[in-house]
A and B are shown apart, each in its own frame.
Chain A
Amino acid sequence: MRIRRILSIIKKEFIQIKRDKPSLGIAIMMPLMMMFLFGYAVKVEVDHVPTAVWDESQTLQSREFIRSFQNSNYFDVVTYVSNRGEMQALMDTGEVKAALHIPPDFSRNILKGEPAQTEMLVDGSDPTVARTVFSSGVLIAEHFSRNISLKTMLKRGSGTITLPVELKPRVEYNPSFKTEIFTIPGLIGLVMQNITVMLTAFSLVRERERGTIEQLIVTPIKPAELMIGKLIPYIFIALIDFTLSLSIGMFWFHVPVKGSLALLFPLALVFIIVALSIGILISTVARTQLQAMQMTMLFLLPSIILSGFIFPLDAMPEIVRLISYMIPLTYFLRIIRGIVVKGVGFDILYSDTLALAFFGLVLFTLAIVRFRKKLE
């Protein structure tokens, strides 16, 4: 293996990248576009849920109760109705995603110090939204009733304030349940994978399509020299892409990186090398850029579903989960979420990093072995 040959390939690739402005533009713009586009798409809005209210009590207490919903920012009271039929109709058409029903005896029960039943309807079409809406409603109601019991007890003047046993849940890492905290880091991983695989997949196939491969394979260049030389320039581009995607996540979607950036970048580099190797492997099989594109898609699609980007791995059946472990993105999602969301260190992430490094080694070696200095 000769360093000079590798350097000459790197230099040549850089010159070609520099002169191919449209491709360079795409390589830089694509992650930006994907981040903005998907960033909003994956942001599940669970605040300001349009809500209908059926207030049969029409009292000071009921209005206060409604206000506490309104003030929570989770609910937007958009309309008042006067019977169950109207409430149901609004839910059916999707005009409201939640409905709050306060029965006539609401105030009376409160003043008597008896439990006051209220009712909440939630549109369950999207379980994620429904779950959040539901738990927000419960929280608000609990908070409201605690205030009332406090007030009444104070009014009665009894010396001891005894609240029933209370479970106060504390959510770690993402206490406000902001979905973007979870989805944006995943998106960065996904976007990186998509761009990076394509970068190298095209680079070698282009040589085949243009016929320049013929002159190259008639020289004494070794497959490893060619592959390494082709990989390195794209590492730089991929690192730029990663920096851009991460910046959009941090500054546009306001997802702070809790852990160390100095750890995130080297681990991202490992993932980039894995993804570039996948691209190179594809290009040793594909004959045309179209084929390379199709193979890339064939590889990317399952990784979106199975990597844990959308559905948690824990919820998958055993066999499917085994496939997930074959997808490099799975490990990088754990790494980037670990660092961004939880702020964990290498002591936690080393096994995922090792898995990635292993993938990189195997895939890159496979590409070198597969690459034949032959025509057909």
Chain B
Amino acid sequence: MQYFTVLSDPVLEALRARGVDPDRLRYCVKADLDGEGCYVDTVLTFDEENLYLLTGLETLRRKRRGRRVLRESVSFAVSDYREIPLASIETLELDRQMTTARLVLTTRDSAACQLARMSLGRSDLFQKFVDRLFQVRDGEPIDDRQLQGTEDFCPKCHTRYPNPVRKVCPNCTDKGSTFARLCKMYLNYKREAILIAVSILLSTVLSLILPYFSSQLLYDQVLTASGRYYGQVTFLVVTIALLRLLSTLFSAAHGILTAYITPKLMADIRCRIFSRLQILSVDFFTKKQTGSLMTRVENDTDNIFWFFEDTIPAALVNLVTIFGLIALMFWISVPITLVVATLTALAGYLFHRFRKGQRRLHHRVHIATRSANALLSDTLSGQRVVKAFAREADEIERYGEKNDALYEASYRQTDRVANLLPFVSLINNVATTILLAMSAFFILYGNMTLGGMSALISYAGMLSGAVNFFFNLGDRWAMCMDAAARMFEILDAEPTVRETEHPVPMPALKGEIKLEHVSFEYEPGRPVIRDVSLEIKAGQMFGIVGKTGAGKSTLIHLISRLYDPTEGRITIDGVDLRDLSFADLRHNVGVVSQETYLFIGTIADNIRYARPDASMDEVIAAAKMAHAHEFILKQPEGYDTMIGAGGVLLSGGERQRLSIARAILQKPAILILDEATAAMDTRTERKIQEAIDRLKEGRTILSIAHRLSTLRDADRLAVIEHGELKELGTHAELIARRGIYFRLHKLQTEAFQFIGDDGGAPAPAPRRPRA
């Protein structure tokens, strides 16, 4: 048994004890709730004869192996067990509720009753389980190919991936390894990296020994009569100036080097992310779970940039500084150094705690700001609506509330700073005083010199800066690692719709489409297409009708392979879509989608998007066929008009006409029109239909429309309702059936009669326009 849940040893033991042979079991799922909403474990599994239900509580033990946490089932306390002969099962219905789902069983000899209850997220597995149960019972073939490669578990530690689309196991990746991977990217610039490290080291060491010259040497050897360099002030000044110059030179060198390679590294990273995003499938971008991932990419690369540009060099500098300082200070006075180091660490820690609390308040300010800003931009972009409903005063009041909340949050933040900061810095002052007192004592009664004391005081100041740096490093480190982790998630993401390695070469398609028991869901547990089978002959014009939300566009997405069906298969000219190369498929399938998208560029560029090598003659011909030419003419800049974000604004119908022109230019074997003319007036629509009619030769056309008159020329029609195929046939056949299509048709003709023949929209009955 391979799917869907791996049974733990205690469960297998319990089944064996009840006379079940685990080797004969076929599929297994686990429900997690009982009728009261308490968490229990119910294992459902079946063999050729019976469905078995084992309810109980599984005890898990967490085991740590290295950094990983592994989970192991240690016992299963059985509270209930049932056996139901497969032969007696009449229906097994999955009833999806708000956050849960239940499995309802009807058998030959009992009325419907609830069998199991589970969290909604598991219901898709249950659906597959139920399908397979009936297939096994009825001896039908089972196709598990689509389950392959969908393992949702990390191969290393067997925890479930948080997101099956992005196979990243947080249990097995840690910040350290993320950092190592980031550093690996640096390795392309090995030479520069080494140069940077060396210059940082040199400049830091030089700046560390400077205070020795400017205080200890100055006081004890130059200004003291018994000193070795007594009176040689010029020598000292020149030495200090030289040292300073050198240190500045080295520090400038590493600054210049990092400024040179970090942007280069970031450009590499951005380019890699962008290329990866182009390969990923559509679901990556539309999944709720990844929604804001995209918007954060920019932010993340910025974070990483500053980490490399600023934090890492600073960390190196401060590390060298701390070790150097401690050594130098020990050399001057061991006891004073110990006391000063302890106090500095203590002050650093306190300051760190203070900042941590501050961060929470800061977060609140951030949220309040964001919420006030959201309202601001919301009402600004909705000004027309605000004015239309005379809601200005209400909006002012609403903003006032948000503003008050923001004030409150910022006040709390600044108030805390004002109250606590003086006390936190007090400890620093105490440390300085103690240092002074101790030095004075050692100078008077010990062998410390005035210069030594002066050097110590400068060193103590430097030490506290370096120590504070490391206390505050944590935040920046965590921020950068999270940013990097998200970045690697994108880089590691695998497209769910994958091109096969050995595609069947099909440069030219006839355009025969076949759907076999196709089911699909965007989100687990919410099926959108259910068991649809239909056949579209090459050269046909095929119409799809159905209410909004019925799943028509989804069907198109499946045929153009933006998504793969969760069950069943789609073939074109007898070849499974999954065996076609992307190039052949995209070349042969042209889609005018419901949401038109125009890129930033000229009108001509947009029309040529599908075939950049098309000549301008062809562009104009396509625009003419799509009746876009008429409005392009009216633009002063003609085909060179810039459109898209920031360009000329086009109306809905104009945009649709451009997308149609784009698809016509592509000359695909299969042309799909999803409500392609919905935003146009009836007269223009009619003209475009005639153009499309002319395109029909040697081409399969799939057209979705709400207005049945749009589909008057269709050879066959399919009616989709709630994702299921309800009716299929020609216009005449469907009318004769007196079903859904008939009712829809009647409604629309009545509506047209009521409106009168405005805009020249005749009832769909006559096959040719009256002209």
A binds B: no
